[in-house]
Amino acid sequence: MFKLTILLFFVASLLLTAQKNEVSLSKFPDDKVMVVAHRGDWREAPENSVWAVKKAIEKGVDMAEIDLAMTKDSILILMHDNTIDRTTTGRGKPSDFTLEEIKKLNLRDGLGVETQMKVPTLEEILVLSDGKILLNLDKGFDYIKQVYPLIKKRNMLDQILFKGHESYTEFNRKYGDIKKDIHYMPIIKLGDEKDLKNISEYLKNYKVYGFEFTIGSTENNLIDFKKLKEKKVKIWVNSLWPHHNAGNNDDKVLDNPNVYDWYLQKGVNIIQTDRPMELIKYLKSKNLYL
């Protein structure tokens, strides 16, 4: 009986290890499309909540995008806005409250209705997501001195994606000592000469994970993403609002799921969406879902 117990434990450990290896930025294949849930699956739970991430995991989403803020007592929490007014039952800036005080408040759902859910800490989300879903820490670099040791200690560097607007020179000056340890994606606004220069500077000096592009409401400033993909970098475009994607946004999906064809035609292989279920269904039909 003892030997059987040991064997079962060993098999379970192998299965867990295999599952965790699959949740990896470095191993995500270039020929599949990564699905990113914006602020978690916020249509089913309050944005940036534990349950928003849980619902994303349940749906099989590849990555959850979450936003960071810091409390008065220097604890990292999930919060998008500069104040807590819209998403909680409180009022003020996150930095006005200790974690204990924040935890006394309730989150509001997408309609502004009070729920019984609480504002989570980053550490709570790391525990929940480890081995189950990738994370994009929006505003992560605002608190890099706190974030980096936390994810390194948990051995989660290959599960976390950072993004930022910095030029390569600024990025290297601020984060040069850790740049080889992290996955980083510059955000590029097409039509801006300075940002276009940033593409070549990053490609020349650093192994980026990819680029996030804001395209505008038309294709006037669109560039050839496929040439960039040949350099083994991923292409991220948001399907959230029309100005991100030349009008090929999530609101059109319910009437016309083939709106996502545009992303495939342009060579996009990471899509951040407010409708993960619809996007996953579409990608499965094209054999592009991991």
Active-site positions read 38, 80
Query: Is the four-CA dihedral 255, 257, 262, 268 of positive or negative sign?
Result: positive
Per the CB < 8 A criterion, the answer to whether 213 and 237 are in contact is yes
Q: Which residues contact 50 (CB under 8 A, 6 or more apart)?
A: 117, 120, 124, 125, 128
CA distance 4 to 92: 57
Instruction: Select from 255, 254, 242, 244 the least CA-distant residue to 278.
Output: 254
Measure Cα distances from 100 to 71, 97, 104, 118 in Å: 10, 8, 7, 11
Helix 168-175 with 193-205: angle, nearest 10 deg: 50
